[in-house]
Amino acid sequence: MKRGLATILLFMTAAEPAAAHSPVKGIGIFYNGMLHPYLVPGHLLVLLALGLMIGQHAPSSSRYALPTFLVTFLASSALLWWLPIAPLPETLLLVVSLLAGLMVAVSVAPGLVSIFLAVVAGIVLGLNSNPEGVPPEQTGLALAGTVSGAVLAILYAGGLSAWLARFPSWPPIAVRVLGSWTAACALLVLVLQYAKTGAVL
């Protein structure tokens, strides 16, 4: 018993500090940045929810919402590269994920709402993508990877949603189910944050 306790304490003292955006060793700066949107739950949820919402009613919804997201995300990422800006609360990403997921679940044509959600998501996502554990001279390379990974994620989610929406039977229902799951995940994380801090924002 004592030997097991001593072993656990030894591992605890040897462990490195945890960081939400810490790099994965051995794969390079660019690919670490590329993986970043997939390793942070709030980032992945908002990309999936927005992609599903934009693709579900394409091309009417994707004509403006997708370029809006891309422009705001690129602009905020570039601003983060040039200026030391404090990150916005990731809770905003969860709220966007919740709203977009609900719109997918009920299959509502988003209209101007999709553009507004795309703007909020692009700004918050860009300002929350500051890489940790990266030398300052390689921050741009890491951010380029993050932008590439996020753009691929939203394009694949939107393309899958648009492709499934063309079928007459169960595939559109699958998109709505995915949207409801995304909204449920976002709501669950929001509730857990509220229970932990006593305030959502």
Between CA 106 and CA 111, with CA 110 as vertex, the angle to 5 degrees is 155
Round to whole Å and give the CA distance between 192 and 78.
Answer: 32
Torsion 21-25-29-35 (CA) sign: negative
Digitized pLDDT (tens) for each residue of the chain, 201 residues in all:
445 434 333 333 333 333 444 556 667 888 888 898 898 888 999 999 999 998 888 777 678 888 999 999 999 888 877 777 777 788 888 998 999 899 889 887 777 888 898 899 898 888 888 777 777 777 788 888 888 999 999 999 988 888 888 887 778 888 899 999 999 999 998 898 888 776 544
E strands, 14-81, in order: none
What is each CA distance from 79 to 57, 84, 101, 123, 128, in whole angstroms?
A: 31, 8, 28, 10, 11
Round to whole Å and give the CA distance between 98 and 183.
Answer: 4
Predicted pLDDT at 24: 63
Nearest Cα to Cα of residue 123 among 165, 192, 70, 190: 70
Q: Are 183 and 98 in contact (CB under 8 A)?
A: yes
Enter the DSSP assignment of 14: H
Round to whole Å and give the CA distance between 38 and 97.
Answer: 15
Predicted pLDDT at 26: 63
